[in-house]
Amino acid sequence: MRVAVIGGGPGGLYAAALLKRLDPAREVTVYERNAPEATYGFGVVLSDETLGGIEHADPVVYAALRREFVRWDDIDIVHRGSVQRSGGHGFAALGRRRLLAVLQQRCRDLGVDLRFHTEGPPAAALARTHDLVVGADGVHSATREAHADVFRPRIAEHRCRYVWLSAPFAFDAFRFEIVETEAGVMQLHGYPYAADSSTVIVEMREEVWRRAGFDGCDEEESAQRCAKYFADALGGRPLTGNRSQWTAFRTVVNERWWYEPPTGGGAVVLLGDAAHTAHFSVGSGTKLAVEDALALAACLDEQPGVPAALAAYETERKPVVASTQRAAHASREWFEDLARHLGRPPRQFAFDLLTRSRRITHDNLRLRDPGFVAAVEREAGVPEGTPPMFTPYTLGGLTLRNRVVCSPMDMYVAEDGLPGDFHLVHLGARALGGAGLVMTEMVCVSPRGRITPGCTGLWTDEQEAGWRRVVDFVRAHAPGAALGVQLGHSGRKGSTKLMWEGIDEPLPDGNWPVVAPSALPYRAGLNQTPRELDRAGMDEIREEFAAAARRAARAGFDLLELHCAHGYLLSGFLSPLTNRRTDAYGGDLDARLRYPLEVFDAVRAAWPAERPVTVRISATDWADGGTTAADAVAIARAFAARGAAAIDVSTGQVVAEEQPAYGRSYQTPYADRIRAELGVPVIAVGAISSWDDVNSLILAGRADLCALARPHLYDPHWTLHAAAEQGYTGPGAPWPAPYRAGSRRPPTGRADGPKPRLTLDGG
């Protein structure tokens, strides 16, 4: 088997070494256009997980690296004169040149043909004479670009500029330092990689970089000026460069990672930065490349042929990389928006920074450094022994016993809008299950405002009585649980099938006419075209909302939420993609807000003054030309000014062509931004799935309340179980008397961890 590797970075070299070691008969050649010692940057950080993989796959390489490592456990966050230290993290780093030298020597010892100062031939040409071509040629990969029609890359350039530098001493911790200058906020990421050297990355927003004059500096002047800005961190010592150019980070995603040329010959596969990148703030570039090499070698060893091996490699690595990229995306955005976080108290700021990627959490940090987390909790006023999620919170005249909200979830089981036994059991079970606030599904204000024939309503006395029955049950059997009602109108998304019969699909018969801000169907050719609302229609619907609010108040609900999200009627007015009106209710955002605010005012006037009203919004449409995060802040500001007690921050579902960036807690940054910029209470939603997520979001100051939907479908007693799993028995999660015998977590069986990915004999 003949293998050509294009690129002599860590990933390419390690792949070459493993492939040769697994089968000494393979002919493996590495092409690298630079000299052996030529590289950019300084230090490389590797995780214990990656090192474990190296140790099992090639003990010789591991032993050589281990002799070079600098290890440390602490992270320092320096913010407005305060230094917060968190321990127990466990890092290992070494110089990039030393890493390359170790891998180069291993390749030579194994008989890999290393060709430095040699531009790699095009992958297509190599494929004609080799069985496998590995494109490990970095973020600017010529291999990827030459075959972009196959790999289908997506490349995004981001908002900060950064530069890699070196300091002539070793930091005693991983250091994050923030300085606020006349030009704007700048940050330093620093860590040791040798006994006398540290990597220093200086990063700032593009506009700050320009205002500070860095766009006119050469390498030496940039290093000198960075050293002045961060003189305290450096102790007055200088910074030096190594091909250190200011650049903007580029995220690389490829739809495919390998292919076989249609004209025959060997297969071509991407590895490392050629296949994917993840922002340096999660320390993942070299880690991912090395792990790619491990997986590629293992798959070639396990599978019956090259195509099967490459398919297995892509299948194995893609989800892992996607997860890392989601974490890196969250981390990168946090630093891009750093100025928004600076007003937080010192310890909360440090906790927020450490948990920014969502991979490090409250529980994880508590295990690593319980003293640090306890200090953060004391600063935030969390009682000792109380998880942050079980601290009370007050909205208007309503005090919730904890921060958990059972999110509105449409059930589609009502008849003529009437809530029945199912709703009593469904909502009653969630109230018994410990959530501080239990929300109804979207309750429709009129028959024509329903999404489906199975939606509940509040337009008749009988419906009001049905809801009062639910409220009375909760009052009697789950005292302390608050019950909220969400009012909405389906707009153009109405008159559709039940969700499990075909979500957003029109009814086969019995359709009712739908209305919207503009005559635009949800899906052209499938959903009906709505009638554009005139003044009379708008007035009628506004009064229907007010009447429903009065009924909800008489039914005894504690809180009312106005649904202005997910493409329903009021959301349709807010989004420029669904509101094309040319009158006073269309055009700029102020005009698009006019009708939703009129409805809010009518509801607020009809609802008891001491009971809070919240508003759910879609903070982004996930579509070009739609609502932006900045728009969401303006929308939240407008509702808060009219008396909204909190903003429930959801996203999307406005247009059918949306492209959401799904992931764990993926909507929470929008809530964080609104809270930080406006200081208004927010409810965070969106793939918040664990009590650890809730604790992390609350303690970091990103949200005041957390709404969970699917977890409450999986487990109606999710909140009580979260308390049991954390050993909490306080007032934030009282067990109903009939359930107290089950308040301790049942024992579980033993689960052995996975075996090493690739294990070879030493030698």
3-state SS, one letter per residue, for 228-274: HHCHHHHCCCCCEECCCCCEEEEEEEECCCEECCCCCCCEEEECHHH
Q: What is the pLDDT of residues 542-567, one digit of tens each?
A: 999 999 999 999 999 999 999 999 99
Q: Which two tokens stand for residue 45?
A: 């950080």
What's the pLDDT at 109? 96
For 534, phi then psi, to 5°, come to -100, 180
CA distance 143 to 133: 10
CA distance 647 to 220: 49
Alpha-carbon distance values, 577 to 132, 672, 729, 739 (Å): 48, 25, 49, 49
Of 354-368, 495-509, 736-750, give the lowest mean pLDDT range: 736-750
DSSP assignment, residue 383? P
b/e map of 736-751 (b: 16 or more CB within 10 Å)?
A: beeeeeeeeeeeeeee
Residue 244 vs residue 585, higher pLDDT? 585
Using the predicted structure, report yes or no on whether residue 761 has a pLDDT greater than 60: no
The rounded percent of the chain whose pLDDT value lies above 70 is: 98
What's the pLDDT at 758? 66
Evaluate whether 181 touches 209 at the Cβ level (below 8 Å). no
What's the pLDDT at 741? 87
What's the pLDDT at 755? 66
Residue type (1 letter), 198 = S
CA distance 190 to 581: 53
What's the pLDDT at 90? 85
* Secondary structure (H, E, C), 682-728: EEECCCCCCHHHHHHHHHHCCCCEEEECHHHHHCCCHHHHHHHHCCC
Q: Which two tokens stand for residue 745?
A: 């977590």
What's the pLDDT at 683? 97
What's the pLDDT at 666? 86
Catalytic residues: 568
Q: How confident is the prediction for the chain on average, in pLDDT?
A: 94
Dihedral-angle region of residue 118 (phi above 0 means left; psi in -120 to 50 means alpha; beta otherwise): beta
Average pLDDT estimate for 172-200: 95
What's the pLDDT at 751? 60
What's the pLDDT at 612? 98
Evaluate whether 211 touches 178 at the Cβ level (below 8 Å). no
Q: What is the pLDDT of residues 209-258, one digit of tens each?
A: 999 999 999 999 999 999 999 999 999 999 999 888 999 999 999 999 99
Residue 525 vs residue 663, higher pLDDT? 525
Q: What is the pLDDT of residues 370-401, one digit of tens each?
A: 999 999 999 999 999 999 999 999 999 999 99
CA distance 36 to 30: 12
Average pLDDT estimate for 267-285: 93
Q: What is the pLDDT of residues 678-708, one digit of tens each?
A: 999 999 998 898 999 999 999 999 999 999 9
Residue type (1 letter), 137 = D
What's the pLDDT at 762? 46
Average pLDDT estimate for 260-266: 86
Q: What is the pLDDT of residues 293-347, one digit of tens each?
A: 999 999 999 999 999 999 999 999 999 999 999 999 999 999 999 999 999 999 9
What's the pLDDT at 569? 98
Q: Which of 222, 172, 178 is nearest to 195 (CA)?
A: 172
Average pLDDT estimate for 487-511: 92
Per-residue pLDDT band at 753 (split at 50, 70, 90): low
